[in-house]
Amino acid sequence: MGTLRPFILSEDARSQARFYAESLGGEIKSLLTHGQAAGAEGDHRDKVMHLCVTVAGENSIFMADALEPFTQGAGMMLDVSYPTRSEAAEAFARLSSGGTVKHPFARQPYGLHYGELVDPYGVTWMITSDDPSEG
């Protein structure tokens, strides 16, 4: 069976990864620049070629600095589910800081706690918890 790992292109992978590690709990596990990996010179030397950040437990997100123009966050949504409503609400609050809340984090009629936001880097997140407690 395979393992799915999101890979996000970024205008600044280092800053974006730090934001996710701080917001969701985690750490940058590895970072390799084009200069380190391929001996690149000039503009690409310090650009991130590959970065791995773990978030919300042991969930890995891979990242790299984009070398060509792109539309950040287009056509992608990430979902993180937490065992407790309070953990989910805290992650939602941290991720939405500096971003845009599309749907406030709240209990839904179907029983799930759900919120949706666009983070400061243009990535859409769905934060959920099936914790039965109210809030």
Query: How many CB atoms neighbour CB 53 within 10 A?
Result: 25
pLDDT tens across the length of the chain (135 residues)? 657 789 999 999 999 999 999 999 999 999 999 888 877 777 888 999 999 999 999 999 999 999 888 787 677 789 999 999 999 999 999 999 999 999 999 998 888 899 999 999 999 999 999 888 766
40 in Cβ contact with 34 (< 8 Å): yes
Domains identified in the chain and CATH numbers: 7-65 (3.30.720), 77-129 (3.10.180.10)
CA distances from 58 to 9, 19, 22, 45, 97 (A): 20, 16, 14, 30, 23
What per-residue confidence (pLDDT) applies to 45?
86
What's the pTM?
Answer: 0.85
Question: Which alpha helices (DSSP H) does 39-125 contain, by range?
Answer: 85-96
